[in-house]
Chain A
Amino acid sequence: MATISALPTPAAAPAPIPFRQVLPWAAFGIVLAVVLLYFVGAEQGITSVISGETVHEFVHDGRHLLGFPCH
């Protein structure tokens, strides 16, 4: 950091984050998202991890309104 004037202003584009730093967090975030979206959008539809209909019925309205195919 040489001079104060070299500091970025908030409106300027920030420096890119190196891909190697993003990668592990991307893997973690995507795996977590897939699991969460599965339970909201598809569990007890054509596949079931938990038997019965309770999860499906509990998120029923959300599943319809978020656009997932539902019964």
Chain B
Amino acid sequence: MLSARTLLVRGMLVGAAAGVAAFLFAYLFGESPINDAIAFEEAHAAPLPPGEHEHELVSRTVQSTVGLATASIVYGIALGGVFGIAVALTVGRFGKVSARATAGLVALAGFVGVALVPFLKYPANPPATGNPDTLQQRTGLYFLMAVIGVAVVIGTAVVGRSLRPRLGTWNAATVAIVGAAVVVGAAVALLPAVNEVPDGFSPVLLWQFRLASLGTQAVTWATLGLLFGYLTERSLRTSTAVTAQPVAA
């Protein structure tokens, strides 16, 4: 028998593991574009007055190792907990889908809602490509897009589930996903654009950074879905084996 408490705790623990995996990916693929972007920033920054040099609060070494690892792991724990709750709410409610498959599907939905939908309109930006004066507006728009992404994913699940008895699994899923694509497309078309990438910034570097960013989030969600699913199936099998032998026990 599954319990919400177990799934929440498992989600947070698996989230920490997902954060470690995300850190390794980000360190290997993301740090090089970040360093190149910082080099561009420094080459184009206004020179400091003579006698002054830049005060560094946290060294680049700490930022790229302990700092990045901390951020990734805390991010993983936070998403993992919510992911565990989402599995607790969906498992057994979408037809004959096993707990392991449910975990995989919820992780896919989480990646789309939390990472992919915001990325479509407000993709991740490397250092040197944002204007500090517009941070307030950009932060608001980014979180608005994330809220839209999560709402669309939940809406797709609810609509698909309610259409399923009438249309069947595939048709219900298709109708719900087409509806979701229309809503996301409308949001992308209507929300204000943000493009503050300065002239002369390498498009290849921008592409590499954004790919590394999307990859980091994909690694996070893939680890969450697959490891959580594996552990849940294993715990169900163990508890089934125990209840199946009450006489021997």
Contact = CB atoms under 8 A, between A and B. Distances in A.
Contacts, number: 182
Query: What class of interface size applies to chain B in its complex with A?
Result: 35 or more
Interface string A47-71: 0000011100111111111111111
A57 B57 contact: yes
Nearest to A71: B132
Contacts of A12: 96, 98
B72 A66 contact: yes
Contact of B97 (A13, A25, A68): A13
A52 to B, nearest CB: 8
Contact of B88 (A17, A66, A71): A17
Interface of B: 1-5, 7-8, 11-12, 26, 30-31, 34, 57-58, 62-64, 66-68, 70-72, 74-75, 77-79, 81-82, 84-85, 88-89, 91-93, 95-99, 115, 118-119, 122-127, 130, 132, 135-136, 138-139, 142, 209, 212-213, 216-217, 233, 236-237, 240, 243-244
Given A66-B71, A69-B135, 8 more contacts: A36-B74, A61-B30, A64-B127, A65-B212, A67-B119, A67-B142, A69-B122, A70-B127
Interface of A: 1, 4, 7-17, 19, 21-22, 25-26, 28-30, 32-34, 36-37, 39-42, 45-46, 52-54, 57-71
